[in-house]
């Protein structure tokens, strides 16, 4: 594939040196590969990708903010060594652990696994997610045997965005696995590729034929078929891939990221012709193209071929797929870091989730006294849904008010029960109130809490003294107002209001319920506080004390 006389022995490393020289704004060279130039904040999970060379833009081209922190770069078509994995991993580790992600090839699995073990001996938490999108390489019931091809972009992108959003390693790993489980690819080749310095291609495709399901390194295809035109090829690829729709996606609710990948010698114009046909095929089948890429994403030196990848999105994956990224070969959106206010807001959601995790049994037991015992679990489901959607909204660059509104909708969807509807309504109203304001200061925050109270009262029709969360929320709002009017600084006022809220919640022990599930067994609850009032106080205390991660 090389036109200039070439020394094959150092071709790959010279190519990486030159790549780094050509992209000084994105990457820096280290022993073992490349790492991103943008500083990696402490506490951010390091996503490390890698594999053999000869596949540009995989893998070095995908290193940058919102994508991989580093790439381990092997020789042409050869896995990097475990030592290289250790070098790149150590260079991007910031105390939150590493996610290693790469295509499922025996050599890569071996070396990355050994490298991971060595990094773990240094005390680093390391997870591995192999990409297994190539449907031609193993049957559907053995997905773990499948190879990784162009679909890796979605896995790396989602993992990189999750890391950039500050998510912990568990979550980054979970999201990478989820992305991998929902992406399928299939490729065809029209001619083989030639190693640098070699005179013969690695394999041949007979004239007038095409290899279906060939590998990225010239591995033989699934089958060989007659060469067809773009429309027939599009139909073939789309049909085989859609047949592997994930089990949990209804046929009429498919939102896809579509990647049409050129493998090296397939010209962009011809890719576009084929993409047009793929687009028609997909639209005819009623699926929604949420997003697409058409170009060289993973190449195989100068192989003439294409691959099509489909990723079935859900709301969570879509948020991370759409998040900004800035690498040499893949850029998206304005790569703005999360504003401070959004960081603080997410820290509050996280703190509330932690508190509810700790209190789930206590709240359930309180609810069991006169209600149905589900309050702790309902609250936990609600906050988890709300926090996920807050993270997505923040990564999309939504304002504080919008983030709260989306979180409110998610809380009602996930939380269920009376409290789910009331918390959802409260967050929605608070977010709406803030979204109307031109700034978010003390007055706007107090107004947002008042709006939340109004929403709870409007929806649930509880009056003070009915033994509900209103008996804690109303004193909170009153105290916050009076503190601010007395000139107390916002942080202190919020703390004092939360303390009053807890006292008021505890005082509901003396009340008899007049509303809700607890009413029929009301007298039993005398001496026990109202679960919804207590959970509100716990949440407000946790939210007030939360410190954003720096």
**Does the protein bind ligand ADP through residue 480 (CB under 6 A)?**
no
CA count, 13 A, side-chain hemisphere, 375: 28
Name the minimum Å distance from CB 388 to ligand ADP: 19
To the nearest 10°, report the CA torsion of 232, 234, 236, 237.
Answer: 160
Question: Which residue bears the tokens 């592997």?
Answer: 244
**Does the protein bind ligand ADP through residue 371 (CB under 6 A)?**
yes
Burial annotation 242-267 (CB, 10 A radius, 16+ → b, else e): beebeeebeeeebbbbbbbbbbbbbe
- Binding-site member from 515, 522, 524, 548 for ligand ADP (CB under 6 A): 515
Relative to beta strand 255-262, strand 64-65 is unpaired
Binding mask 317-356 for ligand ADP (x = CB under 6 A): ----------------------------------------
**From residue 110, how far is each of 127, 181, 494, 499 by CA, in Å?**
14, 22, 54, 55
H/E run at residue 184: strand 183-191
Contacts of 288 (CB under 8 A, 6+ apart): 254, 255, 256
The region of 173-181, 189-197, 323-331, 460-468 touching ligand ADP under the rule CB under 6 A is 460-468
- Binding-site member from 367, 406, 471, 530 for Mg ion (CB under 5 A): 367
- Binding-site member from 374, 406, 409, 450 for ligand ADP (CB under 6 A): 374
Bond before 507 cis per omega within 30 degrees: no
Say if residues 159 and 175 touch (Cβ distance below 8 Å): yes
The region of 99-107, 324-332, 455-463, 497-505 touching ligand ADP under the rule CB under 6 A is 455-463
The question of whether 217 is a catalytic residue gets the answer yes
* Alpha carbon distance 470, 515 (integer Å): 11
User: Which residues, 370 to 389, sit near Mg ion by CB under 5 A?
Assistant: 371-372, 374-375
Name the minimum Å distance from CB 533 to ligand ADP: 5
**Does the protein bind ligand ADP through residue 530 (CB under 6 A)?**
yes
**Does the protein bind ligand ADP through residue 431 (CB under 6 A)?**
no
Say if residues 440 and 341 touch (Cβ distance below 8 Å): yes
**Does the protein bind ligand ADP through residue 517 (CB under 6 A)?**
yes
Name the minimum Å distance from CB 467 to ligand ADP: 8
Name the minimum Å distance from CB 426 to Mg ion: 17
Name the minimum Å distance from CB 421 to ligand ADP: 8
- Binding-site member from 470, 511, 542, 546 for ligand ADP (CB under 6 A): 470
46 φ, ψ (degrees, to nearest 5): -95, 120
Q: Tally Cβ neighbours within 10 Å of residue 146.
A: 24
One-character DSSP codes across 46-104: EEEEEEEESSTTTTGGGBEETSBSEEEEEEETSPPPHHHHHHHHHHH--SS-EEEEEE-
Query: Which of Mg ion, ligand ADP, none has residue 533 at its interface (CB below 5 to 8 Å by kind)?
Result: ligand ADP
Residues binding Mg ion: number (CB under 5 A): 5
- Binding-site member from 361, 372, 485, 491 for ligand ADP (CB under 6 A): 372
Query: Which of ligand ADP, Mg ion, none has residue 474 at its interface (CB below 5 to 8 Å by kind)?
Result: none
Helix (H, G, I), strand (E, B) or coil at 8: helix
**Does the protein bind ligand ADP through residue 137 (CB under 6 A)?**
no
Nearer to ligand ADP, 354 or 461 (CB): 461
Query: Which of Mg ion, ligand ADP, none has residue 470 at its interface (CB below 5 to 8 Å by kind)?
Result: ligand ADP
**Does the protein bind ligand ADP through residue 525 (CB under 6 A)?**
no
Q: Which of 26, 217, 414, 528 is catalytic?
A: 217
3-state secondary structure 254-319: CEEEEEEEECECCCHHHHHHHHHHHHHHHHHCCCEEEEEEEECCCCCCCEEEEEEEEEECCHHHHH
Q: At what angle do helices 400-415 and 340-370 cross, to 10 degrees?
A: 30
- Binding-site member from 375, 387, 392, 528 for ligand ADP (CB under 6 A): 375
Name the minimum Å distance from CB 391 to ligand ADP: 24
Query: Which of ligand ADP, Mg ion, none has residue 456 at its interface (CB below 5 to 8 Å by kind)?
Result: ligand ADP
User: Which residues, 531 to 550, sit near ligand ADP by CB under 6 A?
Assistant: 531-533
- Binding-site member from 51, 151, 213, 460 for ligand ADP (CB under 6 A): 460
**From residue 520, how far is each of 121, 199, 232, 447, 468 by CA, in Å?**
59, 87, 67, 35, 14
CA count, 13 A, side-chain hemisphere, 271: 22
| Interacting residues with ligand ADP (CB under 6 A) | 367, 371-372, 374-375, 378, 417-419, 422, 456, 460-462, 468-470, 515-517, 530-533
Instruction: Please list the active-site residues.
Output: 217
Give the binding site for Mg ion (CB under 5 A).
Answer: 367, 371-372, 374-375
């Amino acid at each position: 594939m090389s036109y200039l006389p070439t020394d094959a022995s150092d071709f790959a490393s010279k190519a990486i040196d030159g790549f780094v020289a050509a992209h000084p704004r994105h990457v820096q060279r280290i022993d073992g590969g490349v790492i991103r130039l943008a500083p990696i904040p402490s506490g951010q999970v390091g996503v490390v990708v890698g594999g053999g060379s000869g596949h540009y833009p995989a893998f070095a081209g995908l290193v940058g903010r919102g994508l991989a922190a580093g790439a381990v770069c092997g020789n042409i078509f050869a896995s990097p060594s475990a030592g290289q994995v250790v070098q790149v991993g150590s260079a991007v580790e910031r105390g939150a652990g590493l996610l290693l992600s790469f295509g499922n090839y025996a050599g890569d699995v071996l070396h990355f696994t050994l490298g991971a073990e060595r990094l773990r001996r240094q005390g680093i938490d390391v997870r591995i997610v192999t990409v297994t999108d190539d449907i031609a390489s193993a049957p559907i019931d053995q997905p773990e045997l499948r190879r990784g091809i162009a679909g890796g972009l979605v896995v790396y992108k989602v993992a990189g965005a999750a890391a950039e959003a500050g998510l912990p390693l568990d979550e980054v790993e979970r999201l990478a696995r989820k992305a991998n489980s929902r992406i399928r690819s299939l490729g065809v080749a029209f001619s083989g590729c030639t190693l640098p310095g070699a005179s013969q291609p690695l394999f041949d495709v007979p004239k007038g034929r095409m290899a279906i399901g060939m590998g990225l390194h010239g591995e033989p295809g699934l089958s060989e078929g007659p060469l067809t035109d773009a429309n027939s090829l599009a139909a073939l690829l789309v049909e085989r891939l859609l047949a592997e729709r994930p089990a949990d996606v209804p046929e009429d609710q498919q939102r896809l990221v579509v990647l049409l990948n050129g493998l090296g010698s397939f010209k962009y114009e011809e890719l576009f012709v084929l993409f047009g046909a793929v687009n028609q095929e997909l639209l005819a089948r009623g699926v929604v193209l949420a997003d697409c890429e058409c170009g060289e994403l993973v190449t195989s030196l100068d192989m003439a071929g294409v691959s099509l990848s489909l990723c079935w999105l859900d709301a969570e994956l879509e948020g991370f797929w759409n998040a900004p990224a800035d690498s040499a070969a893949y850029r998206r959106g304005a790569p703005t870091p999360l504003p401070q206010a959004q960081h603080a807001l997410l820290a509050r959601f996280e703190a509330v989730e932690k508190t509810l995790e700790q209190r789930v049994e206590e709240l359930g037991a309180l609810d069991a006294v006169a209600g149905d015992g589900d309050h702790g679990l309902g609250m936990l489901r609600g906050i988890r849904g709300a926090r996920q959607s807050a993270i997505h909204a923040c990564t999309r660059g939504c304002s504080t008010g919008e983030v709260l509104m989306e979180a409110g909708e998610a809380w009602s969807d996930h939380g269920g029960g009376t409290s789910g509807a009331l918390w959802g309504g409260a967050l929605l109203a608070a977010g709406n109130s803030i979204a109307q304001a031109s700034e978010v200061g003390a007055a706007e925050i107090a107004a947002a809490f008042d709006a939340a109270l109004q929403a709870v009262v409007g929806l649930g029709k509880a009056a003070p003294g009915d033994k509900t969360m209103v008996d804690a929320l109303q004193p909170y709002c009153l105290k916050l107002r009076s503190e601010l009017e007395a000139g107390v600084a916002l942080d202190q006022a919020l703390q004092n209001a939360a303390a009053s809220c807890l006292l008021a919640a505890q005082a509901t022990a003396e009340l008899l319920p007049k509303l809700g599930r607890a009413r029929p067994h009301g007298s039993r609850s005398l001496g026990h506080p109202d679960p919804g009032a207590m959970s509100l106080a716990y949440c407000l205390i946790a939210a007030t004390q939360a410190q954003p991660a720096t």
